[in-house]
Amino acid sequence: SFARSQEALNSLLPRASLEPYLALLLELQRLGHSVTLIGSTNFADAARKAAIAFAPLPGNFRDLLSSPAGLELMQGKPVRLVNDALLLQWLSTAREAIRGCDLLLAPPLALWAYHLAEAEGCRFAVLSPIPVVATGAFPFLKFPARQHSTSWLKRQLNRLSYRAFRLIKWRQESRLIQDFRSQQLGLPRLPWTGAGERRDAPHQLKSPPILHLFSCRVLERPADWPAHAQITGYCFNPTSTSESYSPPLDLQRFLEAGPPPFYAGFGSMIPHHPASLGEVLVEAARLAGQRLILSPGWGRVVPSDDLPPTVFLLEECPHDWLFPQLRGAVHHGGAGTTAATLRSGIPSTVVAFFADQPAWGRTLEELGVSPATHHHTTLTAPALAECLRSMAEIPSYRCRAEQLRDQLAAENGLATAVAALETLLEPQPSAQET
């Protein structure tokens, strides 16, 4: 009788960021655990292909991002994308989906799963692609950690930024969640400041593990993190897509027709003016004298004019197959795509939209694998062309990227994370025994 572990995923999790979670679920399933992915209907196909049980949440991630509020979010504005009605649907649906589970896993955007774990009486852990635990080293979403703060006041303000963010988000949702806890779950109400300040937390929810799914080679673990905050390393699927993927003939011909091209794509990001952004990308490649593979993504970032023969339009292709064959990449700086470029040993330039993306861009710069970080609303073709030339002509970017690739290959973040999760599935002492 194997333990049942289930993963709660907020439907705001982009497709590329789903990869480490899928890798974890697949490995847990291989080890004999029963796993279920709970998330947006946008993830149903990925779950089906991975042969993982799937429970859909109401709402559509793509529709949310393309809504007026979603487009404002893409501009970096502090809007609330998920209203109370949708959040209530998520809570109700996920509550039924986790019946009988022993371990509930959640990304940072779905911390509401904490309340469901309390109702179910199961263990709980957070799986995060970004640093979410308070530290004096850097403020929230302003990493990398190499920019250490030395003054006492600055370190205190850095720590306060995490608490402020948690409090603001909690107060946005607290009325609905408090009512749901008391009326639907039969749980006590939480303090005004949220679960972090409660003194009556059940034994299994005291200091739940927070596993950060990135490498300490990329982002060092802050010295002031508590013991329950870990860095596991990147979680890549051990079964490489490159072994089974067969590229379309026209893509293979384009790759073989000249020097390695650059890649440009922004995944699920949706800009206000996609055609204009597409024109900037194509013009930058022309100015730099580089070939380009353009991935339009959900935002349909494609110029209105016909593409030149030096640009190939690619709708979909596994990153682990494509990226190692490239000269470099231009991407939005999502945690998943950033990890893919590092794993493939190629330099890249981040054209950020919001949230953690500028921070990953700065991190790549400090690692020596990126010449600059831009924002999609202010990007110009000459500025991006300069980045393309730098990545193509300055050997240090490629050398450093290959060095990091080899260092990451020597790690096994998947095994580390799975071992930590299996520890949670072991029989736990009762509160009386402790």
What local confidence, expressed as pLDDT, does residue 148 receive? Answer: 61
What local confidence, expressed as pLDDT, does residue 12 receive? Answer: 33
In whole angstroms, what is the distance from residue 135 CA to residue 131 CA? 9
What's the pLDDT tens digit per position in 115-146?
999 999 999 999 999 999 999 999 999 998 66
Identify whether the C-beta of residue 312 lies closer than 8 Å to the C-beta of residue 261. Answer: yes
CB-based burial, 297-311: b 16+ in 10 Å, e otherwise: bbbebbbeeeeeebb
Identify whether the C-beta of residue 158 lies closer than 8 Å to the C-beta of residue 136. Answer: yes
68 pLDDT tier (thresholds 50, 70, 90): confident
CB-based burial, 396-431: b 16+ in 10 Å, e otherwise: ebbebbeebbeebeebbbbebbbeebbebbeeeeee
Torsion of CA 198, 200, 206, 212, to 10 degrees: -30
CA angle (349 as vertex; 391, 394 as ends), nearest 5: 15
Question: DSSP label at 376?
Answer: T
Identify whether the C-beta of residue 56 lies closer than 8 Å to the C-beta of residue 36. Answer: no
What local confidence, expressed as pLDDT, does residue 146 receive? Answer: 64
In whole angstroms, what is the distance from residue 146 CA to residue 133 CA? 16
Q: Which of 74, 55, 58 is nearest to 66 (CA)?
A: 74
3-class DSSP state of 203: helix
User: Which of 204-208, 262-266, 281-285 bottoms out in mean pLDDT, i.e. has the lowest?
Assistant: 204-208
In whole angstroms, what is the distance from residue 213 CA to residue 222 CA? 15
Question: In 3-state terms, the chain is what percent helix, strand and coil (to 5)?
Answer: 45, 15, 40
For the chain, the distance separating the N- and C-terminal CA atoms, rounded to the nearest angstrom, is 26
Identify whether the C-beta of residue 228 lies closer than 8 Å to the C-beta of residue 208. Answer: yes
What's the pLDDT tens digit per position in 404-424?
999 999 999 999 999 999 999
Structural domains in the chain, sorted by start? 4-234+411-425 (3.40.50.2000), 242-409 (3.40.50.2000)
CA angle (130 as vertex; 354, 6 as ends), nearest 5: 115
